[in-house]
Chains A and B, each alone.
Chain A
Amino acid sequence: MPRLSAVGAAALILATGAFGDVGHAAEEVEPIAVSWPHDGVFGTFDRPAAQRGFQVYREVCSACHGLDYVVFRNLAALGFSEEQVRALAAEYTVTDGPDDTGEMFERAATPADPIPPPYPNPQAARAANGGALPPELSLITKARANGSDYLFSLMVGYEEPPPDVEAPEGMYYNAYFPGHWIAMPPPLQEGIVAYADGTEATVPQMAADLTSFLTWAGEPTLEARKQSGLKVVLFLIVLTGLCYATMRRVWADAH
């Protein structure tokens, strides 16, 4: 029966989609569902939000978290001018060398340099953070399921623990972290950042801006991907339609 085969095939294809969500622990909490400007077929980055998010990263997160795969010149994609990027980079010093005498030396960073990490190595990071290693953030939204939603939820999810639960030493309760106890103290407080564009710095505002920035950092080619995707898919639909019509014409005399 051809129809049974078609139903079976459709069920198979749908089933493979169900496997996109593999390996999750039973107790994981669903993050807050947020509608991001970068979501969907026509998604783009909210550049002002991403610029504010970069300011949050610089002033709050970069004390402990690196951004290893972002290079200063990448920031031009957020709307900074070349001079702004050069000035921004020059605020940091990096070690370079060896020079002609064999010595390492310090110099101002240039747009070609990656954003310098806060610690020289993981051991130093652990020593400064009570044994916990703050992950580098350039891929964080891709390294977590529903990354953008998860990151936002994590930032706003710090709460009082349930009354009967013992707080482990040096840990903080977060509603969205797997296991609920996270070693990072709540990073965002009302007004901790004075936004350059004058936006009010509430915790949800900073969390959303930071998420926009880090989603960009994880996937700077997102807009190019979605825009070229639209052209590719439309082209293919037209082409496939023409192939279908050709096929019907060729087969007309065989029936």
Chain B
Amino acid sequence: MSASPSGRPEYSNAVVRWIEYRLPVFSAANEFMGTEYPAPRNLNYWWNFGSLAGIALVLQILTGIVLAMHYTPHVDYAFQSVEHIMRNVNFGWLLRYAHANGASLFFIVVYIHLFRGLYYGSYKAPRELLWMLGVVILLLMMATAFMGYVLPWGQMSFWAATVITNLFSAIPLVGEGIVTWLWGGFSVDNPTLVRFYALHYLLPFVIVGVVVLHLLALHQHGSNNPLGIDKKSPKDSLPFHPYYTVKDLFGLGVFMIVLAMFVFYAPNLLGHPDNYIPANPLQTPPHIVPEWYFLPYYAILRAITFDVLFIPAKLLGVILMFGSIIVLFFLPWLDTSPVRSSRFRPVYKWFFWVLVADCVLLGYLGAHPPEGSYVLMAQIGTAYYFFHFLILLPLLGKLERPRPLPRSISEPVLGPASSATPAE
């Protein structure tokens, strides 16, 4: 491929030229993630997780579609159809375990991707919409995962569905009506299962659409970088291909090894044994717990044990549980610091790790029954979470004295001489 005098790329292969003239997919791909798309030269491994999230989405869709060919969405047949997949369908066990563990890995990767954004200020101008689209993707993922977990129709499937759909009854006036409408009846039953199946098949494709928007927003200004400063010259960037395609490929290899370790050697480690018991509406499990990726929200929900003014405890718990994600939408405006990266924000950096520890603590508490000292700890954990976003971030931007920023991205790598008089 070489550039013609007019600037349009010319391809040496005749077939490629024929297609390109009619449908410019090759130049589009090249501009999207090829040699024509510049990326900062100093990206570290925390920048691999975006591509891993995209690949995890594709993996879930592919395994999910094949599973859907063998699954029966009816309360009397769902559980046995999953066992049919595990025992009779060729490599059905592999598909099922890949899909279940793939969902967990998808969340691990997305949470790391999110925390990368928090640490390096990737949500700040001009990337606010990019960040907000990411939060939309997270919400869609959570809805999809919740509905997917109901489909095997085990004890946890049924009772988690009962608990979470009942939350909507906390809404004043219309709450009970909404819950009956969601259920399609007077309790979680066949209509609920079938509509969850329909929506579980649909939402991943909605996620794909939002991911496309997310990538378009990303490409408008390109990636952030660990220093948090903008590109000043072409020396600050490298073409995405081959530098970051090969790095993402390596990251994909590591991801696949981790996935394979779970799928082949610990396929039920992240799951709950009760879900291998067929759903029984007349028998509640001793402890109803969601999958690990929902545990922090579950802890926040159960932390509110007291009414506040006219708001009942149950409603306040629901509001704070959803609020913990809604607050992320406002992050670009809550954080008032003009400095993006925590590398130059010594005080914020410390609080970032406190937030991480807080989320891990909330996750731990979500796994345990809300008794004894666990309740107070969950309340403290919830209080810190909202304090961090609503009070700390706005104040810290004003009060913190950041460290001096380097002059350019390439300066720390190539030496100070390189950043003098950028050749435009």
A243 partner, pick from B253, B269, B272, B369, beta carbons under 8 A: B253
**B41 in the interface, Cβ–Cβ < 8 Å?**
yes
Binds B, one of A50-58, A203-211, A221-229: A221-229
Q: Please tell me if the beta carbons of A250 and B246 are within 8 angstroms of each other in the complex.
A: yes
**B268 in the interface, Cβ–Cβ < 8 Å?**
yes
B2-35: contact bitstring with A at CB < 8 Å (1 yes, 0 no)? 0000000000000000000000000000000000
Neighbouring B residues of A221 by C-beta, 8 Å: 86-87, 93
B46 nearest in chain A by CB position: A5
**How far apart sit A135 and B413, CA to CA, in the bound complex (Å)?**
65
A144 nearest in chain B by CB position: B273
Q: Beyond A12-B356, A228-B264, is A250–B86 a contact (Cβ under 8 Å)? A: no
Q: Please tell me if the beta carbons of B83 and A247 are within 8 angstroms of each other in the complex.
A: no
A15 partner, pick from B252, B265, B363, beta carbons under 8 A: B363
Neighbouring B residues of A13 by C-beta, 8 Å: 108
Q: Please tell me if the beta carbons of A19 and B250 are within 8 angstroms of each other in the complex.
A: no
A106-141: contact bitstring with B at CB < 8 Å (1 yes, 0 no)? 000000000000000000000000000001001100
By the criterion of a CB under 8 Å from any partner CB, how many residues of chain B are at the interface? 56
Neighbouring A residues of B368 by C-beta, 8 Å: 23
Neighbouring B residues of A239 by C-beta, 8 Å: 253
A225 nearest in chain B by CB position: B264
**How far apart sit A239 and B353, CA to CA, in the bound complex (Å)?**
34
**B164 in the interface, Cβ–Cβ < 8 Å?**
no
* Interface contact tally, CB-CB below 8 A: 134
**How far apart sit A132 and B256, CA to CA, in the bound complex (Å)?**
45
Neighbouring A residues of B269 by C-beta, 8 Å: 17, 20
The majority secondary structure among interface residues of chain A is helix
**A104 in the interface, Cβ–Cβ < 8 Å?**
no
Q: Beyond A19-B363, A142-B273, A221-B87, is A226–B264 a contact (Cβ under 8 Å)? A: yes
The majority secondary structure among interface residues of chain B is helix
**How far apart sit A194 and B169, CA to CA, in the bound complex (Å)?**
59
**How far apart sit A178 and B287, CA to CA, in the bound complex (Å)?**
13
**B37 in the interface, Cβ–Cβ < 8 Å?**
no
Q: Please tell me if the beta carbons of B265 and A229 are within 8 angstroms of each other in the complex.
A: yes
**A232 in the interface, Cβ–Cβ < 8 Å?**
yes
Task: Give the Cβ gap from B35 to chain A, nearest Cβ, in Å.
Answer: 12
**How far apart sit A220 and B264, CA to CA, in the bound complex (Å)?**
14
Neighbouring A residues of B254 by C-beta, 8 Å: 240
Interface residues of A in 68-125 (CB under 8 A from B): 68-69, 74
* Apart from A23-B368, A142-B273, A232-B264: 17 A-B pairs, beta carbons within 8 A: A9-B112, A12-B112, A22-B367, A25-B369, A74-B87, A139-B83, A143-B274, A221-B86, A225-B93, A226-B264, A232-B260, A236-B257, A240-B250, A243-B250, A251-B247, A254-B243, A255-B413
A-B contact pairs, 24 of them (CB 8 A): A12-B360, A15-B360, A15-B363, A19-B295, A19-B363, A23-B286, A23-B288, A24-B287, A25-B286, A41-B265, A69-B80, A143-B274, A144-B273, A147-B273, A229-B263, A229-B265, A233-B257, A236-B260, A240-B253, A243-B246, A246-B246, A247-B249, A251-B243, A254-B238
